[in-house]
Amino acid sequence: MGLLVFRINPKINMKGKILEFVVRKILYNCGFTSVRSDGLYIYDRHPLQMINGKGAAHDADVLMNPPIQMPFSYPTRIIYECKAYESSRKVGLNVVRSAAGLRNDINDFEIVTEDFLTDRQNNARAVLAASPRKRHYYQVGVATLHEFSKPALEFAANNKIPLLSLDDIFSGTGLADSIQDIPDNLGPQLSRRDIQLFRDELSKKDIDKVKMDRVREIAYQHESINRCLDLIERYIDNVYAGILESGELIFIRRESNGVRQRDLLSNNQVNNLTARLFWGNEDRERWYIEFEGSEMRYFFYLPTEIATIWKSYEDAKFGALQVKGDRFARFFVFNKHRNEEGLPFKLIRLDKVWLQRLIDQE
């Protein structure tokens, strides 16, 4: 009898795995935590984490708990569907529409058994005829290396689908391109065993347990992967996640422009900051934040819904002033690597005196 030999396909979608790792790492750095599988509603199918919906179970590329929860609702969790498309291919409407469908499918799912239905016929029953599981509200977003199409952006804005582009977050660093440059076939330079180990480490849902020394040892054998990880390690700790009072997530990246300054957002002893917001002339939707007494700038892209509102103004400068006062009067940035006693976020207030002076000059 011959031996059965199982071979690992060297054409594993490593680009997608690295994109998932980057998104998971950004969120983890900002206080998000891994979701533990319960073995029923959420379960593991190595190396995937599956979550049940009405029609079928779905594999969750990135599934995490936010650092804080809002009252008057089920606890929230965030799922990001990751699409590592080439730069010539934008993420289209179909992908974002599928994310909305996934959100509905997961949130509308309920465990109902024949026993529950029978019990409901008895109004004098002693226990509830419902699953005792802890319920959550799942928000579903889409992450990609490069761009989204206009129909996708419009649909996301109208349906509260958070979008994440590495090109936006890491603008000018080449990180997104470095992921794209990784070849589909890693076989010539990496063994099947190393490819499998590399994929398994990056796929771990608990980011604390990812052995980066093991990952780097494998990456040293492949120039494009090694360069990609160098850029990730160089820039990923400069990224912060924030949330507006309207509920939109923003991703902020610190840029020092060569000036050695203390990073105010990394100081967990300071929980209240006053900020001024500016928009650039070359890329109008890429705004930046400055704090009093610091030359360091923190860049972010406007959420699609807010960018659409701004574009509705005939006068861009006047519209920007209105958007700042309406949407950024107060927002929150999640603290990094906080201890158990620390607050999960910083409160950022817009400099109202500065803003009013600009309005008076119009």
**Confidence at residue 352, expressed as pLDDT on a 0 to 100 scale:** 95
Higher-confidence residue: 8 or 333? 333
Distances (CA, A) of 300 to 23, 180, 252, 269: 16, 22, 5, 23
Query: Do 181 and 225 touch, CB atoms closer than 8 A?
Result: no
Residue 339: its pLDDT value, please?
A: 60
Residue 13 has pLDDT above 80, yes or no: no
Average pLDDT, the chain: 88
Of residues 285 and 339, the one with the higher pLDDT is 285
Distance (Å, whole) CA 20 – CA 36 = 17
Phi then psi for residue 155, to 5 deg, are -65, -40
Residue of higher predicted confidence among 96 and 48: 96
Please choose, from the candidates 150, 102, 108, the residue with its C-alpha nearest in 3D space to the C-alpha of residue 308: 150
The number of residues making up the chain comes to: 362
Structure tokens at 165: 């582009």
Q: Give the pLDDT score at 259.
A: 60
Tell me the percentage of the chain whose pLDDT exceeds 70.
93
Convert the pLDDT of each residue in 95-142 to its tens digit: 999 999 999 999 998 877 777 777 778 887 777 767 777 889 999 999
Six token digits for residue 63: 């599934």
Using DSSP's 3-state secondary structure scheme, residue 210 falls into coil
Quote the CA–CA distance of 163 and 140 in Å, as a whole number.
Answer: 9
Residue 6: pLDDT band (50, 70, 90) is very low
What phi and psi, each to the nearest 5 degrees, are found at residue 272?
Answer: -135, 125
d(CA 304, CA 291): 24
The whole-number average pLDDT for the span 335-354 is 84
Q: Count CB-CB contacts under 10 A for residue 74.
A: 13
Closest CA to 301 of 315, 285, 314, 281: 285
Q: Are 320 and 307 in contact (CB under 8 A)?
A: no
CA dist 362 and 359 (Å) reads 5
pLDDT at 4 > cutoff 70: no
- φ, ψ for residue 283 (rounded to 5)? -125, 95
Distance CA 242, CA 46 (A): 32
Q: Decide: residue 315, CB within 10 A, 0-12 exposed, 13-18 middle, 19+ buried.
A: exposed
Structure confidence at residue 102 (pLDDT): 96
Instruction: Look at the block and give the residue holding tokens 């965030």.
Output: 78
Enclosing H/E stretch for 277: strand 272-279
The DSSP H or E segment spanning 340 is: none
Q: Half-sphere exposure of 129 toward its Cβ, with a 13 Å CA cutoff?
A: 14
Say what the pLDDT of residue 42 is.
94
Q: How do residues 270-308 score in pLDDT, each as one tens digit?
A: 889 999 999 977 778 899 999 987 888 999 999 988 998
What is the structure's pLDDT at 12? 59
Q: How confident is the model at residue 189 (pLDDT cuts 50, 70, 90)?
A: confident
Residue 126 has a pLDDT of: 75
The amino acid occupying position 282 is E
pLDDT at 3 over 90: no
Expressed in angstroms, the distance from the first to the final Cα of the chain is 86
pLDDT of residue 129: 66
Report the pLDDT value the prediction gives residue 75, as an integer from 0 to 100: 93
Q: Which residues, including other chains, have CB under 8 Å from residue 167's CB and lie 6 or more apart? A: 145, 146, 147, 176
What is the pTM assigned to this prediction? 0.89
78 has a pLDDT exceeding 60: yes
Average pLDDT rounded to a whole number, residues 22-33: 94
